[in-house]
Amino acid sequence: MLFTFYSSIHGHSQNNCSPDDLECHEKSKYLRDENEKWNKYIQLINDAEQRHVNNTQDGTFLYMSQIQSDLAYWKTKQDGITRNDIEQSLTQPKQTLYQIINHRLYRCKDEDLIFPFRNYGVEHFILNILQELPDMEFILNTYDWPQTYVHNSQQHLPIFSFSKVKQGQHLDILYPAWSFWDGGPALGSVYPTGIGRWDLMRETLNNARKKIPWSKKQSIGFFRGSRTSDERDPLVILSREKPYLLDAQYTKNQAWKSDSDTLGAPPASEMRHEAFCPYKYLFNFRGIAASFRLRHLFLCGSLVFHVGDEWIEFFYPYLEPWYHYIPVTSDLRDVEQLLLFAQHNDKLMAKIAKHGREFIWKHLRMSDIDDYWKHLLVEYQKLLNYTTPIVKRKDFYEVKRRK
């Protein structure tokens, strides 16, 4: 039944290629040989739509379940979060202790911060909601890598991190990354001081989307990024072998010394995010941890091919595979078939791209970041078990709004 529907709608049951059109013949071969796999993809899309219809919200804050999940361990701990837990957390290298006392925010001096602009990016949002917060202390990790591990009882620590592995490996408490406001990654000449504020980038990408609607985008995959791992190699190799399917090239990173560092080819030029928008299928890979790029790709109005599902930021669990994006396994074993499937099921792909873009546009606004921080800190503070009031540390200073 699915195949009959697919063939009648998309009209690709016949080979209408001219004798010398090798590209057309190869695609037709896949249409004949891969029907069973493609029917599987259509069923996955149908199932995702059904699950989404049944997944109605009950009026609570959208991301509350992630907050509750991250705090679950501390709710089961008999004495909650103690002063000793906080002091133990400070033994981890270069963590930032924050104090909120009488609606004022305190921390160490700037020169003691390992990545000060990352702290500034976080502080922007906390200052926005400071008048609504009770007194508390919390530990902020500004490294890319999470700090706590389930298997190591000595590292069961209440540390806030922007990313972690979702499958129960880390106990870190997720928070919205600093890069929504400041401290995002610098990318050569295109973003020399970082990728910039999320509210401004939203408008830039939305304008690019309007200029290049789905019907005018190129029906190929696209990727630009540095070779942080060889996980990305198969995509770049496929691009070189079959450029009608995708354009995937490596750019330089800080470790680049020769073309061997970009898989034997000269590095491609770095590009601004809006320059990705002319392409229908945009690939996202993790970096050292979760990738800041993901949320930007959706706003092009393109279809996101999200590779791997291990690393998450706070909003990732609310993006539904096959409804908001196309999931791709880390080994990229099905990527060629997925691209061909996308090229021959344009209406389906346009619908998924629309779902993904609408979720990010409607549910990842700056006000949503404020709300996440407020709900997170209020729920976290309920678990603090201090026997005496919090007193400002003598070497701390008050954090003020940066001009």
Instruction: Show which residues are catalytic.
Output: 144
Provide the β-strand partners of residue 130: none
Local structure of 384: helix, strand or coil: strand
Helices 35-54 and 22-33 sit at what angle, rounded to 10 degrees? 70
Structure tokens at 155: 């590292």
Taken as a whole, the chain contains a residue count of 403
Q: What are phi and psi of 353, to 5 degrees?
A: -60, -40
Q: Which amino acid is at 21?
A: D
Contact indicator for 137, 88 with CB cutoff of 8 Å: no
- Dihedral angle of Cα 128, 133, 138, 140, to the nearest 10 degrees: -10
DSSP assignment of 301-370 equals TPEEEEE-SSEE-TTGGGSPBTTTBEEE-TT-TTHHHHHHHHHT-HHHHHHHHHHHHHHHHHHSSHHHHH
Local structure of 49: helix, strand or coil: helix
Number of alpha helices (DSSP H) and beta strands (DSSP E) in the chain: 12, 13
Q: Which amino acid is at 273?
A: H
